[in-house]
Structure 1
Amino acid sequence: MISMAIVISYDDDSLLDSYFSDCANHVVSFLKTTQLEITEVTNNQCNSAYFDIKVLPLLSNNKSILIIFSHGNDNSFLCNGTPFLESEIAIDNINNIIIYTNSCSTGKVFGKAIDISGGTFIGYEADVRIPKDLNYRRYFVECDNWGIFCLFNEKIKLVNLRQAVKVKFNQHIDTLCKTNGNDFFIASLLREARDNFVVLGQNLDRTII
């Protein structure tokens, strides 16, 4: 059973401002209601040296969920354009690791590498877009984090997670489509994210708490 959550994020992003830290604050607020030990990694700590020295030992010694809010590409997680975690991650304890993220495209290569190695990856396999209008961002924060709520509050199995998250996306899409104007465009962004959300792993018929 998962005993530790490590939450990685940074703020003042050149494209998304505080979006990643907003996601982190939202999920940490929820995780504090659980029995998990929580470690936060933020801002200038989002670099490969800090990850290797401080985060990898935590992952290697615990049954952990690593939650990452950052930019990404097929193969890596990025902070200010620089990779701080790539698919060659060396974790001896990989079978006890779950990686949960809202980073673009990391499911395409990174996630599959984690799957093959015996871990579990939850995230997006293609690029997702976040609206600039702050009035709509709460929908995306909630959808990005809904899987965490389902896993630790609803206690659903990993194999059922994708469908549960899809339901939350659809609720917000339906709400937006009932209005006029720019809301239809925002709904289309949520559809893109919903359709690219994946859960990868070799042992998904289980709960994690």
Structure 2
Amino acid sequence: MNELNATVKNIIFDLGGVLLDIDPDLSIEAFRKLGMPDLIKPGGWGYHHEVFLNMEQGLLSDDEFRNGIRALLPRPVSSELIDEAWCAMIIDFPLQKVQLLQKLQADYRLYLFSNTNSIHITCFHQLFREKFNFSLSDLFVKDYYSSEIGLRKPSLESFGFVLNDAGLLPAETLFIDDSGKNIEGAQQAGMQTVHFTPGMELSAIFGNGFSHQ
């Protein structure tokens, strides 16, 4: 495995779309089947209703989120069905990406920073442990979630919180995300970046060095 830019000592990974395979359209379709109109934009993380955004910022409890969803539905729906629809987008953790992180742990301090919510956190942590028999958190020095820190990417404040809490120098930190807006926010915070786009192989970033995006 070739070295990255020699200044890089820390790597912050996004989760969904980078390490975790997701398909938001599956949740959109699941909510449609429950009678909900199109509140989530396909192909991105733009929300038409504040219940989703507030959940991702940690402003709602799980039950408050579920009740907020129920208020948008034409008929009563169980908490289990709401959670299933919300988590339908979560697909799988590819083995080769987990193995890559394990290799990178020898040379870099690894962190996770995801815009997500408590229901998804429970779901993907359970998925990971059932598949690999250890905790997702074991791959990182620390994992950060928007709903737990009360801040979302791409705000400069969110990146500042993570950098300060972890004690990282921005110039020594590489940030990898599939969102162009998040990449712009990380660059404003002074980090080196790689915009992970469709068709890219994560291993190629580390096998051939990386280029700034």
TM bin (shorter chain): 0.3 to 0.5
Q: Give the TM-score normalised by the residue count of structure 1.
A: 0.36
Q: Give the TM-score normalised by the residue count of structure 2.
A: 0.36
Q: Which has the higher contact order (CA 8 A, sep 6+)?
A: 2
Question: Higher strand proportion, which one?
Answer: 1
